[in-house]
Structure 1
Amino acid sequence: MEPNSWAPAKGLVACGWALAAAAAAWFALTDAATDRLFVGVLVLALVAAAAHGSFVRPRLAADSTGLTVRTLTGSKHFDWPQVTVRVREHRRLGRTNAGLELDADPQLIVLGRLELGADPYEVAFRLHDLQP
C-alpha cells in the first residue's frame, strides 16, 4: 500500500475470508432446513463483507492533485479545491466513534476506522498536510 493510501486491514479481511470458509463448511455439514437457511445467510454476509474489503483496496488514496475514493463500482477522483476534509464524532449506544468526512461537492463520503485501517484523526492530519 502506498504511504498516502488507506484500506481495510489485511488481517481483518483475511479473518473474514476464514470465517466465510468455516461457515461454508458448517453449511455443508448441517442437515436441518432451518439451520441451513441461517448458516446460508451467514455465509453470504461473510463473503460479501470479505469481498468488499478485498476489492476496494485502497479505499482512499491521496496525492498532490487530490483524493481518489474507491468503491465497488469504480474509483472517483476529486481535486483538492472541491474537497473539504473533517472528522466528526458520533455518539451511539454509549460509545463515541470518529468518522472521516470528505465533503466533495455534491457528495458526502464518510469513512470509518474499519474502512481506512487507521485512525480517522491521523488520516485527516495527513490529508491536511497534502492539501496545497
Structure 2
Amino acid sequence: MTITGRGRVGRLIGAAFGLVFVQADVGTLPVRIGTPLRVPAAAAFVALVVPGRRTAPDGAAPGDGDDGLAAWRGPSLHLLGAGIAGCGAAGLALAAGGASASLIRVTAGVLPGALLLGSAWCAGRPRTGVTPTAC
C-alpha cells in the first residue's frame, strides 16, 4: 500500500523545503564535498515522492487516517522547530564572528534541510513503540 491523502502533504512539504535548503546551500562548498550532500538529499526526496516506497512492515500505509498535517503536530514538531532555530542562531553567531560563507551556509542551511528531510521520513513511520525523540 502507499501513503495517500492529506497526511502525505505535510511530509512532502517538509521534504521539499529540506531538499531546497540542502541544494541551495551546498553551492559554496567544493564539488567533492557538495555532491555527496546533494545526492542523498535528492534520493530521500524522490523516495518520499515515488508511491509505494514508504510502507509499514505489516503492509499498512503509515499515516493512514491522518488529518492534514497531523504527522507534524506534537512534541516531534517542537523538537524540529527547536533544532532549526538552533541552527539559525548558530549561523547568525558564526556570521557575527566572521566565519566563512561555507560554514555559515552548512550550519544555517544544510543542517536544517537535513532535519526537515529526516523529520519527513520519521513522520511517515508507524507510531507504535516510538518515543517523540526517536524515529
Q: Sort the TM-score into its range (normalised by shorter chain).
A: 0.3 to 0.5
- Larger-gyration structure (1/2): 1
Q: Greater strand percent: which structure?
A: 1
Q: Larger RCO: Structure 1 or Structure 2 (Cα < 8 Å, ≥ 6 residues apart)? A: 2
Name the TM-score, length of structure 2 as normaliser. Answer: 0.34
Q: Greater helix percent: which structure?
A: 2
